[in-house]
Amino acid sequence: SLAEVFLPEEPGAAAPVGFLQQLPSYQSALRRRNASGGGTQGYSAERRGAEARRLEQEGGELVARPAREHPLSIAEKRRDLQQADTKYLSGWEQWKRTSNKSLKKVLNEVKELSSYLELWRHDIHSIEGKFGTGIQSYFSFLRFLVLLNFVMFILMFSFVTFPSIISKYGIFNSTFSKIPAQNTEPHCTVYTPSGNKGLVYFYTYLKDLLSGTGFLEVTSLFYGYYTIHTAWFSILSYNLPLAYLLATFFYLALSFFWIIKRSVEGFKQNLVHDEDQFQSYCNKVFAGWDFCITDPNAARLKHRSLQYELQTDLEEERLKRKIADRTVKEKLRIYSLRIFINIIVIAVLSGCFYSIYRATVFSQENSSDISNMNFQANLLVQYLPSIVITLANFIAPQIFSFLIGFEDYSPAFEIRLTLMRCVFVRLANIGVLLFSLWSQISYCATDECKACGYNYKLYPCWETEVGQEMYKLTIFDFIIILAVTLFVDFPRKLLVTHWSFKPVQWCGLQEFRISDNVLEIIYGQTICWIGTFFSPLLPAIATIKYFIIFYIKKISLIHTCKPSARPIRASSSNFFFLLVLLIGLVLAFIPLGISIAHIPSSKACGPFRSFNTSWEVVPYTILGFPTGLQQVLYGIASEAFAVPFFVVICLIMFYFMALAGAHKRVVEQLREQLVLESRDKLFLIRKITEAQRH
Amino acid sequence: AAEAAMGGSASVLPREALDEYQELTFLSKQEILLAYKRFSELLPKEERENACSTRVPKSRILTLPELRANPFQHRICHVFSTSDDGDDSMSFEDFLDMLSAFSDSATSDIKSHYAFRIFDFDDDGTLDRKDLEKLVNCLTGQGEESRLSSTEMEQLIQNILEESDIDKDGTINISEFQHVVSRSPDF
């Protein structure tokens, strides 16, 4: 029977003499073992060099690998190189070789020079050494956001703000023209921003700085400043509304593709990784040690965390087996408990959303009523939505991590689910804020209001209002991060170091929670993406904000934090950050899309005064193109083109999916074949030795 | 300041040697000069002149902060040392080899090759159960309370072999190791 044929597996047992020793694979292993008989390395240099060279000659088309890619010591590589040099080469090949070498040298020099330009290279390196690659990935992410915001700022400034400013002041012999609005009621076009005139109290300036009103409202920070339609530089005409819209689309597209490019690596690995659950143990053991750690304290913590992780994983596996053995009654109980807790979660979320809605409505209604309020109360009312959002962002995750304990999931899934819920809360809060703003803006009771399309009395320039709201959110976010570091982290460190009261010591230093910090900055970045359309200079503020936050977080990390006991793997965190950032970007498309294409642009200010909606400038410009081009563009936008295009893309996608499935099947089959081959080999050898004995 | 110091030591490391090392390793010029500086600091003052040809005993190498906290310190010294006496002392070229294998620009082929040798505690060319057990103990730390219990160790080693031992012979050879590591996102 088959049982007799398949031998019991003996791991590397004493090789049956004779035939096994004559197998080619055994001989090569023996060669390696023999070389270690001298007491030094187990791998003979010459054997390896010879093998490598033989491989290269066998596969005639194999390109000679550069010397440094051979796993030999420097002395051996030098010998190889000299031997290769003495081989006879034709003149053409020699020239090719030397030009390759010099090209590589030049490229290396350029790479070295450009690494000097990298921002904070040394800081991030030292953080990596002290705290490991998980935390380092947070700081690299922060650096990426600083760069992204800076590029966005350069974009908006050079295409929108700069032409506006120089044509307004007539530099370079430029002039501008404003097309008067046609077909609009005159009452829609009244807009008198109150740039501060005359003597005002000092604190009015402070209030204006913090809430974007007053003197800030009329600067190029906000949408309302850009009233020009065309700017003329000698003979060139520059269509400002079109440039404004296209710059917006361009920065969104740029962010999109840049994030995707950065996440492609992690994407591939995560797709492969998720499918094959079996890799996790090998990954943890073989790639577990973080070779960047130089501090013995950090090393001790790493040991502990590795031990914790391995034990948790083994525990989880035992738990999985237990789950599989659950009875039907237990399953019912757990599922109904989970449904109940999800209902609670939804209730918490609705509570957050409703409070944000009410706060926004209240703030909008009462902030225009400046007369009977003093400075602080007015500021408080202005910032009410930001305060409520920040509170919600703080409280909801605590509730979620408390509730998840009851749902009896495996630990890894628990972490992921809580994280997903927190992400959703943070991003949805912004959406609710914007929605409540819009419901205020487009609330129309009278006919006059309907003629304008928006509430012209309260919001003659509603884009500036939205921009101010985004500006306030950004400033408040920054203030909160600063305040938490100054007034929570440092006092906590002082308390723990100097007061040996038991509960205080049990609380201990805080850990640097990577996921919370990352969600914080992604929240800020989503606000920036949405707000840049309404406030073109917002990316500059965001750049400065993230720049300062880098140093704040670095100082807080070094001085007040203890390393986290639960490790976060660098690879999965990189991909996770970029994925959530991408979700934030996609969510930012929605409000922008609605306000550009659906809500009527304000008729009293801004570059889109003479159009119904902001999007209309594009069809208007296309109408000015030559007829042939118009036909082509209409053709592309029509169904006759879109439907076949969509079908072709679907076909290509299905093809690649089928290809990937086929490859996976082939890999499985080859694996099975390998197992069978090795069994066959052992069986044959047994048979031969038996036959030899008789 | 570091550049000024390196400028001083650059006069001691000849330029052709620098170019040669750049070609034979994955290190950049700055990194090689920095390595030279660190290496000569390990030597007593009299021997610093010909740092290129002296060997540093293992005990001094292990005082480097990067290796001090590393649980694989002894294996690393053993694998990269080309000393004929078996005392695991390292010359400057061994030192460069080690840095090159650990640098960011090294290919994953090189890294997995050296990692295999580092993890192969008994130098027999395969990772068997004993090697894996020693490996896990190194990872979880020295000391009795930081080791896994024997049942946990058994379960863990069983899982590892299940994942990576393709030909089911109970050991992991270098091709299996390279295969499993190539799919390891954290390596």
Q: What is the SS3 string spanning A281-336?
A: HHHHHHCCCCCCCCCHHHHHHHHHHHHHHHHHHHHHHHHHHHHHCCCHHHHHHHHH
Task: Please give the DSSP secondary-structure letter assigned to residue A385.
Answer: H
- Do A579 and A640 lie in one domain? The reply is no
Q: CB–CB of A112 and B146 under 8 A?
A: no
A233: helix, strand or coil: strand
Residue A260 burial (CB count, 10 A)? 13
A227: helix, strand or coil: coil
Q: CB–CB of A678 and B68 under 8 A?
A: no
Which of A276, A305, A313 has the alpha carbon at shortest distance from A289? A305
Q: CB–CB of B168 and A307 under 8 A?
A: no
Distance between CA atoms of residues B88 and B78, nearest Å: 5
- Do A540 and A605 lie in one domain? The reply is yes
Q: CB–CB of B140 and A307 under 8 A?
A: yes
Which of A258, A269, A265 has the alpha carbon at shortest distance from A581? A258
> Largest alpha-carbon pair distance within chain A?
117
- Do A441 and A493 lie in one domain? The reply is yes
High-pLDDT (> 70) share of chain A, %? 80
Q: N- to C-terminal Cα distance for chain B?
A: 34
Q: Is B176:B165 a contact under the CB 8 Å cutoff?
A: yes
Q: Tell me which of B22 and A193 has the higher pLDDT.
A: B22
CB pairs under 8 A between A and B: 192
Q: Is B184:A282 a contact under the CB 8 Å cutoff?
A: yes
* Predicted confidence (pLDDT) at residue A267 exceeds the cutoff of 90: no
Tell which of A572, A593, A624 closes a domain: A624
Taking CA atoms, A19 is separated from A26, A118, A248, A690, B126, in Å, by 10, 60, 74, 11, 21
> What's the pLDDT band for A9 if we cut at 50, 70, 90?
very low
Distance between CA atoms of residues B131 and B147, nearest Å: 15
Helix (H) or strand (E) segment spanning residue A599: none
* Predicted confidence (pLDDT) at residue A271 exceeds the cutoff of 80: no
* Predicted confidence (pLDDT) at residue B138 exceeds the cutoff of 70: yes
Q: Taking the C-alpha atoms of A161, A165, A167 and A169 in order, what is their torsion angle to the nearest 10 degrees? A: 180
Chain B residues lying within 8 Å of A679, measured CB to CB: 168
- Do A360 and A384 lie in one domain? The reply is yes
A261 and B CB contact within 8 Å:
no
B79 and A CB contact within 8 Å:
yes
A61-85 mean pLDDT = 68
A231: helix, strand or coil: strand
Q: CB–CB of A12 and B171 under 8 A?
A: yes
Please name the residues between 13 and 72 in chain B that touch chain A, using a CB distance below 8 Å: 20-26, 28-30, 65-66, 68-72
Report CA Rg, chain A. Answer: 33
- Do A533 and A463 lie in one domain? The reply is yes
CB burial string A317-346: b at 16+ within 10 A, e below: beeeeeeeeeeeeeeeebeeeeeebeeebe
Taking CA atoms, A52 is separated from A55, A678, B70, in Å, by 5, 25, 31
Q: Is B81:B94 a contact under the CB 8 Å cutoff?
A: yes
Distance between CA atoms of residues A134 and A144, nearest Å: 16
Q: CB–CB of A75 and B82 under 8 A?
A: yes
* Predicted confidence (pLDDT) at residue A196 exceeds the cutoff of 80: no
Identity of the residue in B109, B117, B184 whose CB atom sits nearest the CB atom of A283: B184
Quick: pLDDT tens for A275-307. 444 457 777 777 777 676 667 777 777 777 777
Question: Given this model, what pLDDT does residue A55 score?
Answer: 46
Question: Given this model, what pLDDT does residue A34 score?
Answer: 53
Asked whether residue A131 is assigned to any structural domain, the reply reads no
Chain B nearest CA to A153, separation (Å): 32
Kindly report the average pLDDT of chain B as a whole number: 78
In chain B, whose CA is at the least distance from the CA of A671?
A: B166
Identity of the residue in A12, A68, A317 whose CB atom sits nearest the CB atom of B24: A68
Split into its structural domains, chain A has a count of 2
Helices A375-403 & A328-367 angle (0-180, nearest 10) = 170
Q: CB–CB of A287 and B184 under 8 A?
A: yes
Question: Given this model, what pLDDT does residue A13 score?
Answer: 39
- Do A478 and A549 lie in one domain? The reply is yes
Asked whether residue A81 is assigned to any structural domain, the reply reads no
Backbone torsions φ then ψ of B110, nearest 5 degrees: -60, -45
High-pLDDT (> 90) share of chain B, %? 0
Identity of the residue in B66, B81, B139 whose CB atom sits nearest the CB atom of A306: B139
Chain B nearest CA to A457, separation (Å): 58
* Predicted confidence (pLDDT) at residue A646 exceeds the cutoff of 90: yes
Chain B residues lying within 8 Å of A77, measured CB to CB: 24
* Mutation to test the A interface, candidates B139, B149, B158, most A Cβ within 10 Å: B139
Taking CA atoms, A591 is separated from A427, A432, A453, A550, in Å, by 12, 10, 18, 29
* Predicted confidence (pLDDT) at residue A102 exceeds the cutoff of 90: no
**Unique residue bearing structure tokens 């490019």:** A261
Chain B residues lying within 8 Å of A293, measured CB to CB: 69-70
* Predicted confidence (pLDDT) at residue A59 exceeds the cutoff of 70: no
B80 and A CB contact within 8 Å:
yes
**What's the one-letter identity of residue A61?**
E
Q: CB–CB of A279 and B184 under 8 A?
A: yes
* Predicted confidence (pLDDT) at residue A7 exceeds the cutoff of 50: no
In chain A, whose CA is at the least distance from the CA of B178?
A: A286
Distance between CA atoms of residues A518 and B170, nearest Å: 43
* Predicted confidence (pLDDT) at residue A618 exceeds the cutoff of 90: no
Taking CA atoms, A6 is separated from A1, A678, A686, in Å, by 9, 11, 11
Burial of A677 (0-12, 13-18, 19+ CB in 10 A): exposed
> What's the pLDDT band for A525 if we cut at 50, 70, 90?
very high
- Do A583 and A645 lie in one domain? The reply is no
High-pLDDT (> 90) share of chain A, %? 15
A176-180, A596-600, B9-13: range with lowest mean pLDDT: B9-13
Q: Could you give the angle at the alpha carbon of A139 between the alpha carbons of A264 and A396, nearest 5°?
A: 90
- Do A618 and A634 lie in one domain? The reply is no
Query: Which domains are assigned to chain B?
Result: 15-102 (1.10.238.10), 108-183 (1.10.238.10)
> What's the pLDDT band for A572 if we cut at 50, 70, 90?
low
B28-49 mean pLDDT = 80
- Do A629 and A645 lie in one domain? The reply is yes
> What's the pLDDT band for A272 if we cut at 50, 70, 90?
low
* Predicted confidence (pLDDT) at residue A647 exceeds the cutoff of 50: yes
Chain B residues lying within 8 Å of A303, measured CB to CB: 71, 139-141, 146
Chain A nearest CA to B171, separation (Å): 7
Asked whether residue A596 is assigned to any structural domain, the reply reads yes
Asked whether residue A351 is assigned to any structural domain, the reply reads yes
Question: Given this model, what pLDDT does residue B11 score?
Answer: 41
Q: CB–CB of B169 and A11 under 8 A?
A: yes
A37 and B CB contact within 8 Å:
no
Q: Could you give the angle at the alpha carbon of A622 between the alpha carbons of A621 and A625, nearest 5°?
A: 100
Q: CB–CB of B156 and A74 under 8 A?
A: no
Question: Given this model, what pLDDT does residue A28 score?
Answer: 64
A14-18, A183-187, A230-234, B51-55: range with lowest mean pLDDT: A14-18
Chain B nearest CA to A498, separation (Å): 29
A240-249, A469-478, A491-500: range with lowest mean pLDDT: A491-500
* Predicted confidence (pLDDT) at residue A155 exceeds the cutoff of 80: yes
A667-687 mean pLDDT = 82
What is the domain extent for residue A339? 136-275+326-624
Burial of A30 (0-12, 13-18, 19+ CB in 10 A): middle
- Do A390 and A492 lie in one domain? The reply is yes
Distance between CA atoms of residues A574 and A584, nearest Å: 16
Q: Tell me which of A133 and B20 has the higher pLDDT.
A: B20
Neighbouring residues of A327: CB distance < 8 A, sequence distance ≥ 6: none
Please name the residues between 89 and 108 in chain A that touch chain B, using a CB distance below 8 Å: 101, 105, 108
Asked whether residue A350 is assigned to any structural domain, the reply reads yes
Quick: pLDDT tens for A398-439. 888 888 878 877 766 777 788 888 888 888 888 888 888 888
Label the pairing between strands A561-562 and A510-511.
Answer: parallel
Q: Tell me which of B24 and B47 has the higher pLDDT.
A: B24
Asked whether residue A218 is assigned to any structural domain, the reply reads yes
Asked whether residue A242 is assigned to any structural domain, the reply reads yes
* Mutation to test the A interface, candidates B3, B19, B23, B63, most A Cβ within 10 Å: B23
Burial of A227 (0-12, 13-18, 19+ CB in 10 A): middle
Question: Given this model, what pLDDT does residue A61 score?
Answer: 33
Q: Tell me which of A568 and A222 has the higher pLDDT.
A: A222
Question: Given this model, what pLDDT does residue A21 score?
Answer: 60
Which of B36, B42, B47 has the alpha carbon at shortest distance from B64? B42
**Unique residue bearing structure tokens 């994280």:** A419
Distance between CA atoms of residues A582 and A525, nearest Å: 11
Q: CB–CB of A317 and B155 under 8 A?
A: yes
* Mutation to test the B interface, candidates A126, A281, A311, A683, most B Cβ within 10 Å: A281
Asked whether residue A68 is assigned to any structural domain, the reply reads no
**What's the one-letter identity of residue A311?**
Q
> What's the pLDDT band for A32 if we cut at 50, 70, 90?
low
* Predicted confidence (pLDDT) at residue A72 exceeds the cutoff of 50: yes
- Do A632 and A590 lie in one domain? The reply is no
Q: Tell me which of A559 and A45 has the higher pLDDT.
A: A559
- Do A461 and A410 lie in one domain? The reply is yes
* Predicted confidence (pLDDT) at residue B109 exceeds the cutoff of 60: yes
Quick: pLDDT tens for B93-107. 888 888 888 887 888
Question: Given this model, what pLDDT does residue A62 score?
Answer: 33
* Predicted confidence (pLDDT) at residue A319 exceeds the cutoff of 80: no
Question: Given this model, what pLDDT does residue A314 score?
Answer: 79
* Predicted confidence (pLDDT) at residue A129 exceeds the cutoff of 50: yes
Burial of A549 (0-12, 13-18, 19+ CB in 10 A): buried
Q: Is A213:A207 a contact under the CB 8 Å cutoff?
A: yes
State whether the Cα torsion A577-A582-A587-A592 is positive or negative.
positive
Please name the residues between 89 and 148 in chain B that touch chain A, using a CB distance below 8 Å: 93-94, 96-97, 100, 102, 107, 109-110, 113-115, 117, 119-120, 123-126, 128-129, 132, 135-136, 139-141, 146, 148
Quick: pLDDT tens for A576-586. 788 888 888 99
In chain A, whose CA is at the least distance from the CA of B115?
A: A286
A34 and B CB contact within 8 Å:
no
